[in-house]
Chains A and B, each alone.
Chain A
Amino acid sequence: MLLIEDLRVSIDGQEVLKGVSLEIKEGETFILFGPNGSGKTSLLMTLMGFANYTVTGGKITFRGHDITHAPIYERAKLGIGMSFQRPPTIHGLKTRHLVSMCAHHRQRDVDVEALARKVNFDQFLERDINAGFSGGEIKRSELLQLMAQKPSLLLFDEPESGVDLENMALIGNTVRELLNGSQEPKPDQSMKDLRAKRETSGLIITHTGYILDYIHADRGQVLHKGVLCCQANPRVILEHIGKFGYKECVRCLN
């Protein structure tokens, strides 16, 4: 699905990713840990193709296409979808309109109203996008847009930030559904079989790990000062960081 090879990225001449290599397979969910300022968000922004993030070396391949220098919208059309942590307000652009454009650009026909009800957001469809939205509302709005896009690779920067407990369950379950499709056991298929059929991959940044209660995460790794290290089961990494902090990662790097 996604292959990152020796990726080097600079912002205003400052190197923030120093040779990152990572592969995320079809149906796989990868969790990215790391202290503040380690380059996690930069990695996501680079994968999406934002102008400020200059690729100075390496290669990004998505579903066989070299997208290292592709414009943002081409990546979106190929199936990369991103949830923004602090999306901009666009005055005069109704949420409903944006959601239908999300679907349209992926050649999909969706019932915006029905999708919105799933994330308890139907009351917001006539509002200008992100105008005065709370933390939880931003998350639900981003998820709604992603549900309309139905990306095959989901980039999610801190799904739990600014979200209360009640909303966390809604958001967690929605992320799981986006990643897995519906995961109800069926008479003719075991959960294991269903999981094997997953096609959507995920790359999720988390600090708290709350999201791990809702999704099946396959692998995790720590990003530290622009370099990836410590590959393990995400739960193990989380427990380790909880106990010893990120210090141990630095030791392992050295």
Chain B
Amino acid sequence: MSELAGKPQGATQNIPQADVSRFAFSGKGAGIADIRSLTPEDKERLLMSGVDLDMAGRGGSYLQVDDKSVHCDTCDPNVEILDITEALRRYDGLPEYFWNAVKPDQDDFTRMAAREQLQGGYFMRAKAGMKIAEPVQSCLFIKGEAVAQNVHNIIVVEEGAELHVITGCATAHDQQSALHLGISEFYVKKGGKLTFTMIHNWGEKVMVRPRTVGVVEEDGEFQSNYVLLKPVESVQSYPSIYLNGPRAVARFNSVIVAPTGSLVDTGNRIYLNAPETRGEIISRTITTGGKIIARGHIIGSHVPAKGHLECKGLILGNGIIHAIPELEGTVSGVELSHEAAVGKIAQEEIEYLMARGLDEDEATSTIVRGFLNVEIMGLPEKLRQTIDKTIQESEKDMF
């Protein structure tokens, strides 16, 4: 893992330093013992984040409120789900995984996460050769006021295993301000496949600083789906994936909407660290008044290797989209490409649909949904419908 150190990590120049002194890292939790005792409004917010409280169609669940794990079990014997504290105890501190892909000295937030008391998070492991049929869900919910959540998640997909993790991150509907620090480390072993779907559903005064690094071995596959449709004070993240074995593949799909007041600085990075690796980063962003910095960075250091980056942004209203696609080839023969566009909806497309009988709003909405193209993520039907519904609701701010 020595190659992790010294590489460029998440840039922070465009985001204000979070004033973290107003948040408490412990003792201010809402003290919910059972997630099923949440108010209907809070349950609705969790549902919108892809969390199914009936656990229907899920291979297992990890649910956390503020700083406490409230539910953790698995319905599938081939996937292990533990509270991170329990996993550290049971597996002698998880030396192979804990703070291994993410380095504590990466930036201020990783230092803070390493320094402060650990407040939960999960350890998930799909056993070798096992394809876990139902997605496993995790939920990180913030209910208390001025709470800082400091979680550490580890996902291990053993050789030849397959796992889909759906993570819903949300705050209570009446929740005011919060800070979410989340360290996530992914390890996809030889021939394994991990799909990681994250739906963010924060509040207007919530600062979010996830730090995510994953390592994929030969013939392994990693796919990330990220959905952020609701207001947030600020998100700053730059998940990075190292394709360290031959033929490993990584794919990132992001769908981001920033209403007025939201500041979203997010991107994805893929290191093509072995021959015949492939990486693809696709982001679709819409601002309806907020600021989005859409980054992407593919580093090709072995051949043959292919990387493609596509960031497309629509400005509806007065927001800002700053697309920063970066390609870095360090060896001859590497194939990297990108396609970036920031603009508005073409009048020609609206009129085409109007000629089929759609009024202007219907036409615009149809184009926006096509643009966001959630279908590409291949999500379970119910979750896709939930996301569609959320997009529909946020459309009233769009035009």
The 8 A CB mask of A69-83 against B (1 = contact, 0 = none) is: 001110011000110
A98 adjacent to chain B (CB < 8 Å): yes
Task: Decide: A82 and B355 in contact? CB cutoff 8 A.
Answer: yes
Most buried by A among B348, B355, B358, B370: B355
CA distance A136 to B350 in the complex (A): 23
Q: Find A102's partner among B356, B363, B372 (CB 8 Å cutoff).
A: B356
B226 adjacent to chain A (CB < 8 Å): no
Residues of chain A lying within 8 A (CB to CB) of residue B359: 71, 73
CA distance A243 to B359 in the complex (A): 46
B366 adjacent to chain A (CB < 8 Å): yes
The 8 A CB mask of A110-139 against B (1 = contact, 0 = none) is: 000000000000000000100000000000
Per the CB 8 Å criterion, the residue count for chain A at the interface is: 26
A22 adjacent to chain B (CB < 8 Å): no
Residues of chain A lying within 8 A (CB to CB) of residue B99: none
CA distance A174 to B152 in the complex (A): 62
- Which of A144-180 touch B at CB < 8 Å? 145, 149
Task: Decide: B371 and A92 in contact? CB cutoff 8 A.
Answer: yes
CA distance A15 to B375 in the complex (A): 45
CA distance A106 to B358 in the complex (A): 10
Known: A72-B351, A90-B349. A102 touches B357 (CB 8 A): yes
Task: Decide: A51 and B347 in contact? CB cutoff 8 A.
Answer: yes
Task: Decide: B366 and A101 in contact? CB cutoff 8 A.
Answer: yes
Task: Decide: A73 and B349 in contact? CB cutoff 8 A.
Answer: no
- Interface of B (DSSP majority class): helix
CA distance A145 to B357 in the complex (A): 11
Known: A51-B347, A51-B351, A72-B351. A106 touches B370 (CB 8 A): no
Chain B nearest CB, measured from A87 CB (Å): 6
Residues of chain B lying within 8 A (CB to CB) of residue A145: 356
B399 adjacent to chain A (CB < 8 Å): no
CA distance A105 to B351 in the complex (A): 15
CA distance A84 to B358 in the complex (A): 16
CA distance A71 to B369 in the complex (A): 23
Residues of chain B lying within 8 A (CB to CB) of residue A73: 354-355, 357-360, 363
Residues of chain A lying within 8 A (CB to CB) of residue B358: 73, 101, 105
CA distance A46 to B97 in the complex (A): 66
Task: Decide: A90 and B352 in contact? CB cutoff 8 A.
Answer: yes
Task: Decide: A72 and B373 in contact? CB cutoff 8 A.
Answer: no
Chain A residues in the interface with B (C-beta under 8 A): 48, 50-51, 71-73, 76-77, 81-82, 84, 87-88, 90-93, 98, 101-102, 104-106, 128, 145, 149
Extra contacts, 12 of them, besides A71-B360, A77-B357 (Cβ < 8 A), are: A48-B355, A51-B347, A76-B357, A88-B349, A88-B352, A90-B366, A91-B370, A91-B371, A92-B375, A102-B357, A105-B357, A149-B356
Chain B residues in the interface with A (C-beta under 8 A): 346-349, 351-360, 363, 366-367, 369-373, 375
A-B complex: 3 closest residue pairs judged by Cβ atoms: A105-B357, A92-B370, A92-B373
